[in-house]
Amino acid sequence: MKLPISNLIKFFMLVTIFLSGCSSFAAPTPTSTDTPVPTSTSTNTPTPIPTFTPTFTATVTPNPTATFTITPTSTATIPAISAKLLSVTTFPVNKRWFVPNEKYSIDVAFQNTGAEVWTANYCVAVVYSNKGDVTYQTTSVCIGDMKKTQVAPGEKVSFVFSAFGSEMMGNHSWGYALVTPKGKLVPGGTAGFYYISR
């Protein structure tokens, strides 16, 4: 089927009118803005980066310090009479074994730790023995025997006894006691001695 040419012409006219009618509207034109467009001016200079260094300002408030006050609740009292054993030695050689009948001396030393002075009549006595044979001086030795008249608080004194090695082989021991002129034991005034007879 062929369309007549007149129809085709009508059709093109219609399309042209239609399209021309559409073109009667004005196309929008761009308007200028008041904000200037930035232009690039490159100088290759780096922009410095700001650095931040924190600074601290500390305010130190000292804690209150405790003040201690010592208030004595009780006072220590020095006993009127007391002693401290310092040593028990032998001479001429300090040893703990002897042959039978070997002579030696025993030195028993005390310190006066009391408040009272020891007079010349304070003595050290032999108080016991573990064997029946007596190989030591049995008489007491007093401060006066040591050519002293007294021993003041804090001073030291030695009491010297004579002895000899026993004929009974084995261990031997005995004790000493520091006594007042009235025969009372001075607290801390005890000592012991032992040796081997061989």
Asked whether the beta carbons of 178 and 127 are under 8 A apart, the reply is no
* pLDDT score of 130: 73
Distance CA 100, CA 164 (A): 7
Distance CA 106, CA 194 (A): 11
Q: Does domain 83-197 have CATH number 2.30.40.10?
A: no
Tens digit of each residue's pLDDT (9 = 90 or more) over 77-115:
889 999 999 999 999 999 999 999 999 999 999 999 999
Asked whether the beta carbons of 122 and 146 are under 8 A apart, the reply is no
Task: Kindly state the percentage of the chain with pLDDT values over 90.
Answer: 52
Which residues face 197 on adjacent strands?
A: 98, 170
- Would the pLDDT of 139 be above 70? yes
Residue 14 pLDDT level (bands cut at 50, 70, 90) = low
* pLDDT score of 141: 95
Count the neighbouring beta carbons within 10 Å of the beta carbon of residue 152: 9
Residue 60 pLDDT level (bands cut at 50, 70, 90) = low
* pLDDT score of 124: 96
- Would the pLDDT of 65 be above 80? no
- Average pLDDT over every residue of 162-169: 92
Asked whether the beta carbons of 180 and 81 are under 8 A apart, the reply is yes
Distance CA 153, CA 48 (A): 87
Residues 6+ apart with CB under 8 A from 170: 196, 197
The angle at the Cα of 185, spanning 184 to 187, to the nearest 5 degrees, equals: 130
Task: Specify the pairing of strand 150-151 against strand 156-164.
Answer: unpaired
Question: What average pLDDT does the structure give for the chain?
Answer: 81
pTM assigned to the model: 0.62
Tens digit of each residue's pLDDT (9 = 90 or more) over 182-193:
999 999 999 999
**pLDDT: which is higher, 114 or 147:** 114
* pLDDT score of 44: 63
- Average pLDDT over every residue of 40-67: 63
The domain segmentation of the chain, as residue ranges, is: 83-197
Task: Give the rounded distance of the alpha carbon of 73 from its chain centre.
Answer: 27
**pLDDT: which is higher, 110 or 43:** 110
What's the length of the chain?
Answer: 198
- Would the pLDDT of 118 be above 90? yes
**pLDDT: which is higher, 65 or 125:** 125
